[in-house]
Amino acid sequence: DSRIQYERVGADVTMKCGSMDWDAAVTWTANGTDIDDSHLNGSYLILKNVDLTRSGQYSCYEGSSWHLKYQTYLKVGVPPKEPVLMCRSNNYPKGFYCSWHLPSPTYIPNSFNISVIHGTREMVCEKDIFPKNRCHIRYLQLFSTVKYKVTLTVTNALGKNSTTLTFDEFAIVKPDPPESVVAKPVPNNPRRLEVAWQNPSSWPDPESFPLKFFLRYRPLILDQWQHVELSDGTSHTITDAYAGKEYIIQVAAKDNDIGTWSDWSVAVHATPWTEEPKHLTTEVQITETTSTSTSSFMPPPTTKICDKGAGVGSGAVAVCWTAGLVLAAYGVLFI
Amino acid sequence: GDSWGIFAFLCAALCHLPAVPALNGTEELGAGQSIQKTYDLTRYLEHQLRTLAGTYLNYLGPPFNEPDFTPPRLARAERVPGATVDLELWRGLTDNARLAANYRAYSRLLCYLRALDGQAGTAELRHRLGHFCSSLQGLVLSIAGVMSSLGYPLPAGPTAAPGSPGAANDFLKKMDEFWLLKELQTWLWRSAKDFNRLKKKVPPAVVTLRLEARGF
């Protein structure tokens, strides 16, 4: 008959060949490979100080007939360490969720049981399908003076462990980071950047439960952040950016009155508006004055005008060409 | 039995101190600004309470000053008004009901807090309690100001709850004090949300019109 056997790492395992006598002649295999006689004590298989590599299928065959007398699947593992539990309300005042994980693997299957007690009442924490190891609870009442007590127990074939969290309704409020953060330069303003964002979509009622925000920004080349706290609105204009430097910007959110700050949003990059370099404009002016003072019309060197838009792409080249033709046409007219 | 009588007397005496607010000043502010002022006051008080509660719970000693202390709420007559409320019910409160609930709660809480005053441990603690009570009185007056500027009647003044049993022993008395502070803390958190809602719903323009009408 087939079965599963769980053993601890470091344990000594003795396997009996079913109902066979101790002095019967048997052969043991591990995952189909014969096991050396040195591990045998009569018909018993002795595995000392097992490690994870010992996991596998063990079979015992009667010596001569090669009948399968016993089979088991050995799974080597460890009992669970104290689990890590976290509870958080990112959707206040709807409710909260708890999520957990084991600090290190057990190598064998574990089952989790979570209990939530509020005063004298036991509440049901509904398990989420995804992600696993997470469950959520809806608040039945708001502004509770009684703490919530959440106990997570993890059990496997080799042991169990648990951890408990006790908290006030207000203490676990932590919104998700703001969404859709966008930063843009402001035309004709070399020291400004316009930043805009949205409330996290998981926050259900920003009207009655407004959020406040924390903005941080720095040029990529510096380590020091600058901070702005904003109690209103979902946009802000930075007015002290270093000209021409690329900036990294992030925003965090918090309920106006309770709980803690969210994690930082995804970082956005932006560089303030910069003016076009001045020297090109002056060259064109000089060329134009020279051409007007002479009697015969000379089309100004089109290359200089085209340099202005040189970086923009093939479209600019087409424009330059057309400009050259037009100027040549005018030149012909005046001759 | 004996201690309850004294408590009831104290409460009655302290609570019937003139609590009628001086209305003239707040009416000129306009409801919008008064609501903001009241909101700011609740934040200030919540901050003050953090230090005060810590000190007071230490004075009460263990287990009251243990962070995870979660005693069951004894089914005694509700002397301290509860902040806990069903979500939809809270959402659906009229402005009047919302303000009235706050007014009643803080009037009562102030009353009980004042009764603590005379018994608390060190002179410093009593001084802190006294200061907090003054600020709390300011909050009650502020709420009254908002209500009157919006034309809502003030709820009847707080009276000592008749017939409710006094603490049978020292431990239960401390338990009562623990819950008093807890309820106060929760109310201050709730009020921030109450006044946020009121801020959005009361347009200052409406009140200005009313004041102008009164001028004629």
Three-state DSSP class for B198? helix
CB distance A143–B86 less than 8 Å?
no
CB distance B86–A141 less than 8 Å?
yes
Residue A290 is assigned to a structural domain of this protein: no
Q: How far is CA B121 from CA A92, B8, B56, B116, in A?
A: 39, 21, 9, 10
Any chain B CB within 8 A of the CB of A212?
no
| pLDDT score, position A279 | 63
| pLDDT score, position A36 | 86
Distance CA A247, CA B63 (A): 52
Residue A295 is assigned to a structural domain of this protein: no
Domain ranges of chain B: 32-201
In single-letter form, the type of residue at position A89 comes to S
Assign residue A63 the CATH number of its domain: 2.60.40.10
Is the per-residue pLDDT at A149 higher than 60?
yes
For A24, the domain range is 3-77
Q: How far is CA A324 from CA A120, A307, A316, in A?
A: 88, 13, 12
CB distance B192–A258 less than 8 Å?
yes
Any chain B CB within 8 A of the CB of A119?
yes
Task: Please tell me which residue of chain A has the smallest CA distance to B40.
Answer: A257
Task: Please tell me which residue of chain B has the smallest CA distance to A117.
Answer: B70
Query: Which of A18, A46, A77 is where one domain is finished?
Result: A77
CB distance A143–B83 less than 8 Å?
yes
CB distance A208–B73 less than 8 Å?
no
Q: What is the pTM of this model?
A: 0.76
Residue A330 is assigned to a structural domain of this protein: no
Any chain B CB within 8 A of the CB of A161?
no
Distance CA B183, CA B73 (A): 11
Distance CA A59, CA A41 (A): 16
CB distance B87–A142 less than 8 Å?
yes
Residue A317 is assigned to a structural domain of this protein: no
Is the per-residue pLDDT at A290 higher than 50?
no
DSSP string spanning chain B?
-HHHHHHHHHHHHHHTS-----HHHHHHH-HHHHHHHHHHHHHHHHHHHHHHHHHHHHHH-TTTT-TT-----------SPP--EEHHHHHH--HHHHHHHHHHHHHHHHHHHHHHHTT-SSHHHHHHHHHHHHHHHHHHHHHHHHHHHTTPPPPPPP-PPTTPPPPSSHHHHHHHHHHHHHHHHHHHHHHHHHHHHHHHH--HHHHHHHHHHHH-
Q: Per-residue pLDDT averaged across B76-105, rounded?
A: 87
> How many domains, chain A?
3
CB distance B84–A143 less than 8 Å?
yes
Kindly report the nearest CA distance between residue A242 and chain B, in angstroms. Answer: 36
pLDDT tens figures, B42-64 = 999 999 999 999 999 999 888 99
| pLDDT score, position A263 | 97
Assign domain B32-201 to a CATH class: mainly alpha
CB distance B87–A170 less than 8 Å?
no
Kindly report the nearest CA distance between residue A168 and chain B, in angstroms. Answer: 10
Any chain A CB within 8 A of the CB of B197?
yes
| pLDDT score, position A314 | 44
CB distance B189–A149 less than 8 Å?
no
Any chain A CB within 8 A of the CB of B73?
yes
Residue A230 is assigned to a structural domain of this protein: yes
Residue A174 is assigned to a structural domain of this protein: no
Distance CA A159, CA A8 (A): 10
CB distance B87–A139 less than 8 Å?
yes
Residues of B in contact with A96 (CB under 8 A): none
Q: Per-residue pLDDT averaged across A310-333, rounded?
A: 48
Do residues A241 and A192 make contact, with C-beta atoms less than 8 angstroms apart? yes
| pLDDT score, position B169 | 81
Mutation choice for A interface testing from B193, B195, B199, B201 by most A CBs within 10 A: B193
Is the per-residue pLDDT at A335 higher than 70?
no
Query: Which of A146, A167, A188 is where one domain is finished?
Result: A167
Residue A278 is assigned to a structural domain of this protein: no
| pLDDT score, position A306 | 38
Helix (H) or strand (E) holding A226: strand A226-230
CB distance A149–B197 less than 8 Å?
no
| pLDDT score, position A173 | 97
Task: Name the residue among B73, B179, B189 with its Cβ closest to that of A170.
Answer: B189
Residues of B in contact with A170 (CB under 8 A): 189
CB distance B84–A170 less than 8 Å?
no
Average pLDDT for chain A: 86
CB distance A142–B70 less than 8 Å?
no
In single-letter form, the type of residue at position A29 comes to T
Residues A152 and A184 in one domain: no
Give the whole-number percent of chain B exceeding pLDDT 70.
69
Residues A33 and A92 in one domain: no
| pLDDT score, position A2 | 65
| pLDDT interval class at B11 (50, 70, 90) | low
The string over A28-38, giving b where at least 16 C-beta atoms fall within 10 Å of a residue's C-beta and e elsewhere, is: bbbeeeebeee
Q: Please give the interface size between A and B, counted as residue pairs whose CB atoms are below 8 Å apart.
A: 64
Q: Per-residue pLDDT averaged across B156-166, rounded?
A: 54
Residues of B in contact with A139 (CB under 8 A): 87
Residues A135 and A184 in one domain: no
Residues of B in contact with A119 (CB under 8 A): 72-73
pLDDT tens figures, A179-209 = 999 999 999 999 999 999 999 999 999 988 9
Any chain A CB within 8 A of the CB of B70?
yes
Q: Per-residue pLDDT averaged across B27-32, rounded?
A: 60
CB distance B84–A144 less than 8 Å?
yes
CB distance B68–A166 less than 8 Å?
yes
Residues of A in contact with B72 (CB under 8 A): 119-120
Query: Which of A143, A167, A191 is where one domain is finished?
Result: A167
pLDDT tens figures, A7-32 = 999 999 999 998 888 888 899 999 98
Kindly report the nearest CA distance between residue A17 and chain B, in angstroms. Answer: 53
